[in-house]
């Protein structure tokens, strides 16, 4: 049974934190789906993930291609066709408690400077934990990532 990790972004922009988490996920042997709400944000992230010469190549693709099922990281606004081990939710994209239970990890990244994003993350936390999903809340406010809250599953 997996867990939902909530990442409250206050220091690093989404693309930096996402690239770091994707790199660690790939090192763990996971396949990842990054689920957003808008094509424009996914387009921006797609561009940013290709601009990583200092960190090396981060293999990924946009959904809708002929090789979606083979992508180690798939950027999508819907269901992932790459059989992910982990789903990363951005822009408040929906994640269900069933997904949390079925996957190794669900990561929910939200902008701490956007009141609407913070409110959406709170609603997601409440919905997932009320449904029995295990969740951890991580903050970078101190300058490094620290777990600030935890809710048990089941």
Q: What is the CATH number of the domain that holds 142?
A: 3.40.50.10110
Write down the pTM of the prediction.
0.93
pLDDT in tens, 30-88: 999 999 999 999 999 998 887 765 656 788 999 998 899 999 999 999 989 999 999 99
Domain that holds residue 25: 3-151
pLDDT of amino acid 51: 74
Structural domain count of the chain: 1
Helix (H) or strand (E) holding 8: strand 3-9
Compare 10 and 1 and report the one with higher pLDDT: 10
pLDDT value at 1 more than 90:
no
For range 17-25, the mean pLDDT? 93
Q: Give the pLDDT score at 56.
A: 64
CA distances from 31 to 27, 104, 107 (A): 10, 10, 13
pLDDT digits (tens, 9 = 90+) for 88-107: 999 999 999 999 999 999 99
Nearest by Cα to 80 from 28, 45, 35, 119: 35
Measured distance CA(24)–CA(10) in Å, rounded: 20
User: Where are any strands of DSSP class E within 11-153?
Assistant: 32-35, 61-62, 73-76, 86-89, 105-111, 134-139, 146-151
pLDDT of residue 17 exceeding 70, the answer is yes
Q: What are phi and psi of 68, to 5 degrees?
A: -50, -45
Q: Is residue 77 within 8 Å of residue 35, measured between CB atoms?
A: yes
Place of tokens 């090396």: 56
Residue 8: pLDDT over 70: yes
């Amino acid at each position: 049974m997996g867990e939902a990790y909530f990442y409250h972004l206050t220091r690093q922009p989404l693309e930096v934190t996402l690239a770091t988490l994707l790199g660690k996920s790939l090192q763990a042997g996971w396949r990842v789906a990054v689920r957003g709400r808008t094509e424009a944000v996914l387009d921006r992230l797609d561009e940013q993930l290709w601009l990583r010469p200092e960190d090396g190549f981060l293999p990924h693709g946009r959904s809708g291609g002929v090789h979606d099922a083979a992508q180690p990281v798939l950027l999508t606004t819907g269901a992932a066709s790459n059989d992910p081990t982990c789903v990363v939710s951005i822009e408040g994209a929906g994640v269900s408690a069933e997904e949390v239970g079925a996957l190794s990890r669900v990561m929910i990244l939200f902008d701490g400077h956007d009141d609407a994003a913070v409110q959406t993350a709170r609603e997601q936390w409440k919905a997932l934990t009320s449904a029995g999903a295990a969740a951890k809340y991580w903050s970078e406010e101190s300058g490094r990532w620290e777990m600030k809250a935890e809710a048990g599953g089941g």
